[in-house]
Structure 1
């Protein structure tokens, strides 16, 4: 018997009969699996919803109708993107909290940590950052350039340290922080031009918001190999950053200290430079 197919708003005169489906075709349809790219594609759906543009909270997206399968624990095993053995379950990909906000679950954290291209940089930097932190006693942070912003991979702090708005996996515009200025000074000209074109947001009266002053600052950073930013983000804090270079001499990161904005701030530069050189040597051996 044929299958009756019609649109909901059609009348009986529009009803047609579809040809019967063969047993072989039904069997093939029942046993067929989606191609690998479709199976692995579901890994990216949770990531897309987490990076919704304009979200007021960069840590968690406010999603009122997220499909339950994205916030439920993983099943007995998920196919790997490379066609290898199934990945074991490791908790929910996303978690929904009491206020219906959605945050990262352990599964996405684990996958992101394994796949991060910054993992070797962080591992090379941590011993030197810890030594520098013991000397400085305030904030030590490691930042990289990402999408015309500085992304902070690591930060060490202390209970009595000066105020600092930076956090691990946090971002800042390139023109406001010492790390951002170091990275901006050594990046491609098109990124520099886009930043100079603005807008250049002011965090304090000392933040550079004039394109001409910013261009002069970048020239100074390239010449002196250090960015000195007293009061750029908070009046009580001074950021100082130097470049971390690869074996080939390319600037791959910025190492910074955030110290009190006083007359002793510049005294941290020699130790900061020594730590950055040590990170570069460790990168070459990784």
Structure 2
């Protein structure tokens, strides 16, 4: 989810090789990020029975902001940007921490966690499309082929969840979440050269919290009636998939290439399917699983270059 500058990196931009004793920390940090991001779909589903999408969004980002504030205070690394960079980070935060979470929370009201994760897993293709449109990266044949394969996969998921109008809306919301994810990543590409990752994450989460404040009355009302397990799921979402996962992602990103690290995120959707089955007893319909497999295949075809 975190990316690098829009400028094509050269050999001089390659990250310094980690010390031998720390080499395992990079893949470990990447693995922590992927597992926590995959678990977020399960946490949303578990909390969503007692919390409405808006209340859950506010609760998650509020907890995330508090956790990130503690982390930033312990590291002492906050360096606040100014002017256009600050405005851009605020917009990014409203999109990523506010709108993305709101759309995904609403989608998982009727979609199981695994199906939602498969839809959001389309984001890398959408990022490539946005890059072709806005960054002049073009539309190579592999991207077009991947889009075609993924489109068939989405059709399969839509067919498997066509039990009612609400399911169709949920699929659309899941795709909207992937769209916001992709757009936020492109925006982040432009901003990261001007602000460090921890500061950007903290400011972005804070901006998402402020934008979600209209849901405060709903959160307060639902908090008093929600089960303890649902509230703990909301707290988990704020602390781990939001604060901790972004911190481990930033650690790994500064010590390896974005392309190599980004490939690891493809495992998030299959992990979410497995965790949904293990913890919630939910498994996507067979047609949805086939559609999801096609979506992931399309993503791989579109975004991985053969060497």
User: What TM bracket, shorter-length normalisation?
Assistant: under 0.3
Structure number having the greater helix percentage: 2
Between Structure 1 and Structure 2, which shows a larger proportion of strand residues?
A: 1
**Structure of greater relative contact order (alpha carbons < 8 Å, 6+ residues apart):** 2
